[in-house]
Amino acid sequence: MYADDLVLLSASVYHLQLMIDTCLHVLNELDLTINIKKSVCVRFGKRCNSVCSSVSINDSIIPWSNSLKYLGIVFTTGFKMSVDFKSSRSNFFRSFNSIFSKISKADETVIVSLIKSHCIPTLMYGLEALDLNKTLLRRLDNPLFLVFGKMFKTFDKNIVNCCMYYLNTLPLSFEYLIRKASFLAKLKMVENNALSKLYKVCGRGEFVDLYKEMKLDPMSNIVIFKQKVWVRFEELMR
């Protein structure tokens, strides 16, 4: 739960209904209600497309959906949980076009600085907490590549990569690695029993794999990890 957004996870529809009923009981005591119009159910796994029973709130059916939006991130149903970048991509390009239309003749360093502060956050928000596969990482790279291509009037991959490198800008798939490593490192140090257990169950393996991918000792600090990511970007341009 975050603020007034609540997510319930269950292995079965039956237990999901029990969880909802429990929430309703507690919320009634607090004189709070659930907005059925903003509530959806989604399924992940091998049987995500199978017909199943309905789930309800006070006899009102919660619709089954192919996607849900939680904390600004759109998740899509399927064999595995996936992320839909359509909305965040649109916000990214909308922000860029708004900036570029006004200062297209300004120094490139100024434009890139504004892209980093106003555009990239709309696309990268919350992604460090997710495990993105190679396909999603390629989709993540594309918007920034197109923006740099528009700025420098070229869509040659090598030229765009060089422009990004000399303007101190990583492809977003590389930026994702740094943010994820930093996020897991902080989660590792949190003095909270629930979060510590979450890290041990889900985060520790990912943290070790990230450092192995960079051929680093997991005990290395995040500064060394960042340097290694930049070295990998340099190797990509050779």
What parts of the chain have a pLDDT lower than 50? Answer: 1-2
* Distance of alpha carbon 121 from alpha carbon 135, whole angstroms: 20
Give the count of beta carbons closer than 10 Å to the beta carbon of residue 189: 10
List the structure tokens of 16: 């999901």
* CA–CA–CA angle 234, 236, 237 (5° rounding): 70
- Quick check: 100 and 74 in contact, CB under 8 A? no
Residue 134: closest CA among 213, 223, 31, 76: 213
Enter the pTM of the model.
0.85
Predicted local distance difference test score (pLDDT) of residue 94: 96
Alpha helices by DSSP H, 30-133: 86-103, 108-114, 120-124
Predicted local distance difference test score (pLDDT) of residue 32: 87
Predicted local distance difference test score (pLDDT) of residue 233: 94
Predicted local distance difference test score (pLDDT) of residue 1: 46
List the structure tokens of 92: 């990214």
One-letter amino acid for residue 119 of the chain: C
